[in-house]
């Protein structure tokens, strides 16, 4: 086994462990930390189903960001969607045989690389140019974007300019998955691309990238508007999925005296 | 009126250029040792304040999922940076919500995260120093905890939670804010924020009975400590004698009178406000809320109705069930608790009040959504009832109603500039400047739609507006209680 193969095998095992272990640990912490007071940002849904819809709008459409800052929304939405398409395209390295839908998605995943690059440039540009955003930016905020730009650039180069040995790389990945490392193709672009991805994976559970699991645990977004139901002694927050609040319907009006 | 210079009103509120440190010198008076002691806080900065502060920070974060998630999740996208009225009015970048949070976040990262422990320079983590503590005192007392920023945050990060935590830490090391802590002491000792003792309260309310009798010829009662009354009214003590609040109280009394609902205030819980929320103290908040439960049980009432007070309605609506619930000793046929606007709307809907809206024909009214009501509570049985119920009440009693710019009402409403425990004269510069976005929106409808009055449902809003409006060339008399409009339109005796 070459030194490159050994180094990258160790690197990816470590990175994967840190990413998965770290995120699971963090999710566990978030889930176990108490949220004693009801603080949903109103108007809030009154049922669990409504909360699912609200979180769906946040995660799927970035609804609050859209209300708050249209340019930030455009760049970050393009970034996240193109990243998702690119990641789906990369499933071909992991899955054997490659499922039909991954094959069909492949052209989208490939060309999404350009959207990814443009959106990252947009995010970096606004971070540099808008004084308010620059004021709240730490070095790590810039470096995170630079790291993503390195990943996207090397990836796009290997896809469109200097075609990488993707068959050899798939063999390497499959080897890692079988806990029996195969030789790593050592083209410089592959080395830089994979090392950058590994670094991003390691950073994930220690950085603001935790916004990804965090949004699901945000009390202002995931709590139901059900305090008065609890005051009535009408049971658990929000009741069961789809349950209509029983309290107010017939009683709010000054009908009974 | 002091020589504070209010921003000039333009056609819109521009996003200001950054002026770092513009408000660094504006901070409220510190609580005396005596005020601190009354709440169980150290009287002066404790010797090992740094260790105490870091320990308290850890405890608070471990006890609050909100803090835990919010201190990790901010990506510095900047969506909140132009949403805070204090930033818009002062141009101090530390008043941008994310920058305000970062004052605490950078310390949290330094002591509680690997990234901050190992690479502080990289992730913007810093040691807790006396300067940092001082910046907390300054800028966490330039946040009215109105939560407007949280509406626009892609992760719902709530600066109010961070601001409350910071104030709690400051209290725990002996650096309290005079205004809030002195008031909380009065609540414990006397029963209300204004320090109005029972005899004075009775006297005031008797005076009101005479005033209303003189004006209308009808005996409208303002009962105190009546055991067995149907409704316990919990209202901000400003309603007992501040202007324009008191006309709102007269309005509630007329509503109860006309509907034949027996009611009472409690001398023991003669205050709806719960300033413990502002200082982030769960323990204090529970203690203050407990008075209400005790009073309701002692007076054997069937319902608790909360008067016009923004943060009090938040505490009542959203927190009482946790703090003092369940309120299962109350009549289950009514919401527990119930807002006075819900009571009035319900009575109007079933024709229980005879109203003559022409009494308000001289007015063109707009409505200021109070931040805590808008973004932390509901009224009625539909989502958004906190917006529609008060407007429906106003429309029933006043023919001329217009709304302000949609970007400044509803859940996007701007704070009056005096909420969150900042309604004190030592912060007047902040209050005047922070009122800018609301003043701009109001001025636009005054100019464009001939608005003469702005109705509000919060004691703090009413006091703040009547104090700062003259700085913007708007008459202070424009601010009125929603229930003043109701009270003026009720035709008393018509049903008797």
Q: Determine the pLDDT at residue B195.
A: 86
Q: Distance from CA of residue B477 to its chain's centroid? A: 20
Choose from A23, A122, A127, A132 for mutation: most chain B CBs within 10 A.
A132
Say which of A33, A135, A230 has its CB closest to residue B99: A135
Which residues pair with residue B453 across a beta bridge? B365
- A194 contacts A151 by C-beta, under 8 angstroms: no
Residues with Cβ < 8 Å from A237, sequence gap 6 or more?
A: A38, A223, A224, A226, A229, A230
Residues linked to residue B366 through DSSP beta bridges, in sequence order: B454
Q: Tens digit of pLDDT for each residue in B164-222?
A: 999 999 999 999 999 999 999 999 998 889 888 999 999 999 999 999 999 999 999 99
pLDDT on residue A25: 98
CB B235, CB B252: distance < 8 Å: yes
- Percent helix / strand / coil, chain B, rounded to 5: 55, 5, 40
Give the architecture-level CATH label for domain B33-176.
Orthogonal Bundle (1.10)
Domains of chain A: 3-26+46-218 (1.20.950.20)
From the list B18, B98, B375, the residue facing A131 with the nearest CB is B18
For the entire predicted model, the pTM comes to 0.94
Average pLDDT of B435-454? 98
Query: What is the per-residue pLDDT for B241?
Result: 87
Contacts of B157 in chain A (CB under 8 A): 218, 220
Q: Which token pair is B384?
A: 């958004």
Q: Nearest CA of chain A to the CA of B343: how many Å?
A: 7
Q: How far is CA B123 from CA A128, B113, B114, in A?
A: 17, 10, 10
Residues of chain A with pLDDT under 50: 234-253, 255-257
Question: Which contiguous run of DSSP H or E holds residue B56?
Answer: helix B49-62
CA distance B177 to chain A (A): 24
Task: Output the six-digit token pair for B35.
Answer: 């005020």
Chain B from 58 to 77: CB within 8 A of any A CB: 62-66, 68-70, 72-77
Domain ranges for chain B, please list them. Answer: 33-176, 185-402+451-489
Minimal C-alpha gap between B302 and chain A (Å): 11
Chain A interface includes B381 (CB < 8 A): yes
Verify whether the Cβ–Cβ distance B322 to A38 is below 8 Å: yes
Question: Does residue B361 have a pLDDT over 90?
Answer: yes
Q: Which two tokens stand for residue B472?
A: 């913007």
What is the structure's pLDDT at A1?
Answer: 78
For the beta carbon of residue A244, count every other beta carbon within 10 angstroms: 9
User: What are the distances in angstroms from CA A154 to CA A105, A133, A160, A176, B110?
Assistant: 21, 28, 10, 22, 34
pLDDT in tens, B85-124: 999 999 999 999 999 999 999 999 999 999 999 999 999 9
Tell which residue, B347, B169, B200, has the closest CA to residue B267. B200
Is the per-residue pLDDT at B77 higher than 90? yes
Segments of B353-440 assigned E as strands? 365-367
% of chain B at pLDDT higher than 90:
95
ipTM of this complex: 0.94
**Which pair of tokens denotes residue B12?**
């819109």
């Amino acid at each position: 086994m070459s030194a490159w193969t050994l180094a990258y095998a160790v690197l990816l095992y470590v990175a994967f462990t840190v990413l998965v272990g770290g995120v699971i640990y963090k999710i566990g912490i978030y889930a176990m930390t108490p949220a004693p007071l009801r603080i949903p940002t109103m108007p809030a849904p009154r049922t669990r189903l409504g909360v699912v819809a609200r979180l769906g709008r946040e995660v799927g459409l970035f609804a609050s960001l859209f209300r708050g800052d249209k340019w930030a929304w455009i760049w970050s939405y393009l970034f996240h969607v193109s990243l998702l398409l690119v990641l789906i395209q990369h499933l071909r390295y992991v899955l054997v045989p490659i499922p039909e839908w991954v094959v069909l998605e492949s052209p989208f995943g490939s060309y999404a690389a350009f959207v990814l690059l443009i959106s990252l440039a947009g995010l970096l540009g606004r971070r540099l140019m808008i004084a308010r955003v620059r004021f709240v930016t730490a070095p790590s905020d810039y470096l995170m974007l630079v790291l993503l730009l390195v990943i996207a650039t090397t990836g796009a180069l290997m896809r469109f300019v200097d075609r990488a040995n993707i068959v050899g790389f798939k063999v390497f990945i499959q080897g890692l998955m079988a806990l029996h490392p195969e030789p790593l193709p050592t083209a410089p672009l592959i080395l830089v691309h994979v090392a950058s991805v590994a670094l991003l994976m390691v950073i994930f559970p220690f950085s603001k990238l935790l916004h990804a699991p965090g949004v699901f645990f945000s009390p202002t977004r995931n709590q139901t508007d059900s305090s008065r139901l609890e005051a009535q002694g009408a049971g658990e927050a929000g009741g069961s999925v789809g349950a209509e609040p029983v309290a107010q319907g017939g009683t709010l009006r000054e009908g009974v005296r | 009126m002091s020589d504070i210079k209010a921003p000039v009103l333009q056609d819109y509120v521009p996003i200001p250029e950054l002026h770092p440190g513009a408000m660094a010198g504006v901070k409220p008076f510190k609580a005396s040792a005596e005020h601190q002691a009354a709440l169980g806080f150290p009287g002066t900065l404790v010797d090992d304040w740094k260790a105490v502060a870091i320990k308290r920070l850890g405890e608070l974060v471990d006890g609050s999922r909100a803090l835990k998630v919010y201190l990790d999740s901010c990506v510095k996208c900047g969506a909140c940076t132009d949403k805070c009225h204090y930033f818009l009015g002062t141009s101090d970048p530390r008043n941008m919500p994310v920058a305000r949070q970062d004052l605490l976040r950078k310390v949290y990262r330094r002591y509680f995260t690997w990234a901050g422990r190992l690479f502080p320079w990289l992730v913007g983590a810093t040691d807790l120093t006396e300067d940092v503590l001082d910046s907390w005192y300054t800028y966490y007392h330039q946040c009215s905890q109105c939560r407007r920023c949280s509406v626009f945050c892609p992760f719902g990060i709530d600066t109010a939670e961070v601001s409350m935590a910071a104030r709690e830490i400051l209290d725990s090391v002996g650096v309290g804010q005079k205004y809030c802590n002195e008031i909380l002491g009065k609540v414990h000792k006397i029963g209300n924020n204004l320090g109005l003792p029972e005899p004075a309260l009775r006297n005031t309310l008797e005076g009101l009975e005479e005033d209303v009798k003189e004006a209308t010829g009808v005996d409208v009662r303002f009962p105190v400590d009546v055991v067995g009354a149907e409704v316990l009214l919990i209202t901000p003590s400003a309603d007992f004698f501040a202007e324009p609040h008191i006309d709102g109280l007269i309005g509630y009394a007329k509503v109860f009178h006309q509907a034949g609902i027996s009611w009472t205030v409690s001398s023991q819980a003669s205050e709806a406000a719960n300033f413990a929320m502002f200082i982030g103290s769960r323990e204090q908040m529970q203690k203050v809320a407990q008075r209400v439960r005790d009073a309701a049980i002692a007076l054997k009432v069937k319902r608790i109705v909360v008067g016009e007070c923004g943060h009090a309605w938040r505490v009542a609506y959203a927190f009482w069930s946790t703090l003092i619930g369940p309120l299962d000793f109350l009549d289950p046929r009514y919401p527990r608790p119930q807002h006075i606007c819900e009571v009035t709307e319900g009575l109007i809907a079933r024709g229980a009040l005879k109203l003559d809206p022409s009494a308000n024909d001289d007015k063109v009214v707009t409505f200021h959504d109070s931040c805590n009501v808008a973004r932390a509570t509901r009224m009625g049985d539909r989502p958004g009832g906190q917006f529609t119920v008060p407007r429906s009440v106003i429309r029933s009693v006043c023919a001329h109603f217009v709304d302000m710019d949609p970007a400044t009402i509803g859940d996007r409403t701007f704070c009056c500039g005096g909420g969150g425990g900042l309604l004190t004269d030592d912060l007047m510069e902040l209050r005047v400047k922070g009122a800018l976005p609301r003043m701009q929106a109001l001025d636009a409808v005054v100019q464009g739609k001939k608005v003469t009055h702005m109705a509000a449902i919060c004691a703090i809003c009413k006091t703040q507006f009547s104090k700062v409006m003259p700085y913007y060339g708007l008459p202070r008399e424009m601010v009125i209680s929603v229930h003043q409009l109701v009270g003026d339109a009720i035709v008393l005796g018509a049903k008797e």
